[in-house]
Every structure is written in structure tokens, then in C-alpha cells.
Amino acid sequence: MTTARRIVLLGIDGANPILMRQWARDGTLPNLASLLARGLSGPTENLPGFFIGSTWPSFYTGTSPARHGFHYQVQLRPGTYDLYRPEKDRLVKIPAFWHYLSQAGRRTAILDVPLTQLESQINGVQTVEWGGHDAVYGFQAAPPELAIAIRTRFGDHPLGSTCDGVRKSVADYQRFTARLVRGVQKKAELTRYLLGKERWDFFAQVFTETHCVGHQCWHLHDEHHPAHDPGLAAKMTDPIRTVYAAVDQAIGEIVRESGDALIVVLSTHGMSSFYGAQFLLREILVKLGVTQSLQQQASSTANESKLASVARALWHLLPPIARARLAPLRDLLARPDAAPESESSLGIDPARSLCFPLSNGLGVGGIRLNLAGREPNGTIRPGDEAAAFMAQLSADLLEIVDERTGGRLVRRVLRTRDLYDGPHLDALPDLLVEWNDEVATGSSCVAGGEGALVTAHSAKIGRVEHENAYGRTGEHRPEGIFIAAGPNVSPGEMTRPVSILDFAPTFCELLGVAFPISDGTPIPELVGQQPAATTPGSASRDPRTALR
């Protein structure tokens, strides 16, 4: 078995792997190019249906949501029809791999790994959300005096607690990009400062600035995006390329100070254009007759739909100059249809609903059966009745097309129980609706025009139409990338994808620590159990992520 004396993990959160390789080749990312040339690299793959909200918890526990219990920031409280936020209880139900490293006496530094809680007995240091994309707990550190030291020496992250916000002008996007770049630079300074404090056995830092810029600025990068404004894009450099380049420079600085450590660069999941029609799922289920909204909500939704249609028609009658001036007010009043559900009741009539939607990320919708014996007022019996219902509902969803293109709106429907097992399986959606990312549904409202109108159609639902007024223009993809470079690592490019579940047991094995609970296995090419299956420099290409 290969052992590593020290490991430095550098996360590039939500980065597109095709762009990373492309920009490494053309000189934009010289430090990643160097690591690719001398290290082992390959694609990473995520868990089917769970590659958005639960990606990082699955990575650091080495288990699926059926075992660690977290699938999204808003979940169904077991035994009720109410939603709650898991961090108010405990975000994940089993320990992260650094818990076992600490128990075994390994000195560990964990900085800004997304969606984590403080490890109360970490043998080292930890920060939570100093500069993270998903603000759940706010900035915390262990030991507590570390938070004071960081704020005194480095201040707060320049972006603040969220990267969401309405942006229209060149100046808006330039300020946003500049804050992200400065955030990357501050993270590099903080990382180098702590790296110099002692010889850590395991050190991790995650750059979530790539995540932010991908969500907010994909329309400036991708000329085929519904919100792409050539005039706006021509007046500024590509924000995504700019932030990626800043992270590359930071990685170069950190690697130079990491000595003989094994360097692992990891993008757990990717980013591309916004897609999916999660904002239509509830109405689709109502149209199919399997979900019954509360009467008050149904009446309100119908009235809102009528008012929205009238408002949309009036908006198009306005002259362009008037629309430009009124666009900020319209955006302020727009309903955030694609936003995750807030903590509240599901808003369904459980006595008359066979199933109901659950938030699971905008690229993959969740549907939960109203199962007798599990739900308080279950209407479907487990076994053959539930199986027949899921088969019919899946078929009905797969028949829905986008009227603009004629393409299927749903790529596939997965049954969670067929894929996963664990003590928290019943806390998850029963069906996972993967929206077809070849059918673009990206909002165009950020460009100052009307939102993208999405019309779903099938024989059973008729026409279901709504405007996608969501502000983000980029959304996640399940594909990522890793690069490992250092002692005893043979250079090359792997031809098989590596599961994100495999990294936690790999790190523990490399450091000689037992990892008792895992759905993954150590990566043979890194722990020295077999030679790497590689190809000399030909990266795999997925047409759904190989964007301009």
C-alpha cells in the first residue's frame, strides 16, 4: 500500500471540468497545467439524483444521503407534512473522515469545506463559512480564538454571506467579479499563513468562488444562453475565466509552499447553463391528478397566473426604453418560482394526494409518495400498489415535452430505493426527476428582458406554462475532475470516473487510519493497489458539459 506523509486538498467548487482542461491547455491556468502534466487526473462522478445539495456531505462522509441523512437544505420532517432545515438538528448523521483522522492523532486543518459543522474535538483547526457559497451556520472556527485571529488579520470575505443578487450593468458584474477575485486572494493568504504554522498531516481548503461565479455569470460566458447579451459581454472580460485564473494563481502559490505533500485538486461537481423545470413540477403533478393543493393555495395560484399573464402582455406593449427603466422594479416584484421552498407546510391536502414534490435541487426534482404507514395520512399502500403507481407516474413524466423544441423535458425518473440503502432512506424522495439538460430553460430576466417562458405539454397534462424568473443562469452538472500530484503518484489520465464517495476512504488509507463507515472504496490508482488505467492526454468529453 502507498502511504502519504502529508495531504493537501484544494477544492475548486462547482467548476466545469471541460473548461478547466481547455484553459489549462491554452495557458490561462498554468498551475493546473503543471499539475496535470506531472500528476494523475481523471473525471469524478456524483451520485445519481443527488449531485446538487448533498454533494459535499457525501464526499466528506464517504456515504450516500440514505446513510448520512442530508439531501437538501430544506427537507421533510419525518412523520409530518412539514418542512424543516436540517442544520437546526444535525446536518449529517455520521462523522466526516477528518473525525477519524483526529481520533488517530493526525493533525488536521479543514477550511471552508461546504455544508459542514464544526468538529468539536478536531485535532487541529477548522473554519466554517468564512468564504463559503452555502451560508448555513455563518462564520465559525475551532478553536474559537481562530475566528478572532482570522478577522483581525484577514477581515471578512469580500463577498459577504451570499453571491445572489440582481445585477444588470457592466459595473455590477465587474464589482462582483472583483470581490470574488479578492476573496480568492484572501483565501490563498489565509491558507499559506496556516500552512506555515505547522506540518499538517491533512490540510483542506475549498475555493467556492468558482461556484458563485458559475451560478451568476454563466450567461456572460455562454453565447447560446437565453440571457446572453453580446453588448454587455463585449464590454468586459469573461468573469468565469477571470475567477478560474485567480484560483489557479492561488493554487500555484499554495503548492509551492506545500513541500513534499500529496496535492489533490478536486471539483466534486460541475457547472453549465441553467436547465430544468422544477418550478413547474408541482403544477404538473396537480394536472396529473396525483397531488391536490390546498384550496386556498390553488385559488391563489390561479389568480396569480391570470394576473401574471395580463402583466406579461402589458409589459410587451411598453416601449423598450420604458421596459429598461422599469426592469428593476419588475424584478423586485417577480415571484421567485425556482427558489428552494422555505420552511413551511407542504401546502397539500394529504387526504387527497397520492404524492407531493420535495425540493432536491433545481436540476433534479424530488417526489415523495404519500405512503400508508409512513406518512400520517398515507393514501398509497406499500408494495405492488406503490410500485405500479411509480411506474405509471414515471411514464407520464417522460411523455412531457417542451413546446419550443419538442424535446423531452424529463431525461429520466429514478427510484431512490433501487439505487441506495441506509438507515435514512425513508427521509429521501422516492422518485428523482432528472430534468433534461439538453433543453435550455435558463432565465433571461437578468438581461433586463422578460423571463424565459417554459411550456410543458403532454396528452395528460395539456399545457403547463410558466415564466422562469429565477436569477441564476448557471446550474450544476454531475461531472467533476480531480488531479493528484506528489510522491509515488504516476502521471497519466484515468479513463474511468472516480466516485466522490471514494475520496474519504482513500485519504484515510493513505494516512494509515481506519475508516469504519463508507459506501466508497479507496482509489486503487492512488493507494498503489494496481497501476492506473490511463490514456496519454485525451480527456473524456461529455457533450452536455462541453460548452463554449
Residues 355 and 312 in one domain: yes
Q: Which of 385, 277, 294 minimizes the C-alpha distance to 81?
A: 294
Q: For residue 462, is it left (φ>0), alpha (ψ between -120 and 50) or beta?
A: left
Read off the pLDDT band of 337 (50, 70, 90). Answer: very low
What band does 326 get if pLDDT is binned at 50, 70 and 90? low
pLDDT of residue 518 exceeding 70: yes
Cis omega before residue 95 (within 30°)?
A: no
Identify the three-state secondary structure at position 368.
Answer: strand
Q: What is the pLDDT of residue 306?
A: 53
Residue 2 placed within a domain: no
DSSP secondary structure string, 455-498?
A: EEEETTTEEEEEEE--S--EEEES-EEEEEESTT---EEBSS-E
The reply to whether 157 and 216 lie within a common domain is: yes
pLDDT class of 227 with cuts at 50, 70, 90: confident
- Is pLDDT above 80 for 37? yes
Point out the least confidently predicted range of 92-106, 269-283, 374-388.
269-283
Q: What is the pLDDT of residue 90?
A: 87
pTM above the 0.95 mark?
Answer: no
Range with lowest mean pLDDT among 337-351, 375-389, 433-447, 526-540 = 526-540
The C-alpha atoms of residue 521 and residue 515 are separated, in whole angstroms, by 10
pLDDT digits (tens, 9 = 90+) for 59-73: 999 999 999 999 999
User: Distances in Å between the alpha carbon of 142 and those of 191, 195, 196, 422?
Assistant: 15, 16, 18, 31
Domain C-terminal end among 435, 453, 471:
471
Say which amino acid occupies 8. V
Residue 484 reports pLDDT greater than 60: yes
What is the predicted pLDDT for the residue at 300?
46
| CA distances from residue 441 to 425, 472, 545 in whole angstroms, order as listed | 31, 11, 15
Kindly provide the residue ranges of all beta strands, DSSP E only, lying in 248-363, ordered along the sequence. Answer: 262-267, 270-273, 355-358
User: Grid coordinates standing for 120?
Assistant: 468539536
Closest CA to 257 of 209, 205, 211: 205
Based on the domain organization, do 508 and 386 belong to the same domain? no
Please write the tens of the pLDDT for every residue from 493-504: 999 999 999 999
Mean pLDDT of the chain: 87
Q: Is residue 546 part of a domain?
A: no
Q: Does any domain span residue 433? A: yes
Residue-level pLDDT at 221: 95
- Percent pLDDT > 70 in the chain is 85
Number of domains in the chain: 2
User: In one letter, which amino acid is 16?
Assistant: N
Highest mean pLDDT among 218-232, 296-310, 319-333, 402-416: 402-416
Residue 491 sits in a domain whose CATH number is 3.40.720.10
- Cα torsion 222, 228, 232, 233 to 10°: value is 10
The greatest distance separating any two alpha carbons of the chain, rounded to the nearest whole angstrom, comes to: 71
Higher pLDDT, 530 or 190: 190
Residue 444 lies in a domain: yes
C-alpha cell of residue 175 = 464589482
Quick one: pLDDT at residue 1? 52
Q: Are 442 and 297 within one domain?
A: yes
Over residues 153-164, the pLDDT tens digits come to 999 999 877 788
CA-closest candidate to residue 366, choices 411, 421, 431, 281 = 431
Greater model confidence, 284 or 228: 284
What is the structure's pLDDT at 524? 95
Q: Say whether both 386 and 494 belong to one domain.
A: no
CA 532, CA 525: separation in Å to the nearest integer? Answer: 5
Q: Are residues 203 and 55 in the same domain?
A: yes
**Parent domain of 348:** 278-471
Q: If pLDDT is split at 50, 70 and 90, which confidence band does 347 have?
A: confident
* Bridge partner residues of 109 (DSSP): 125, 203
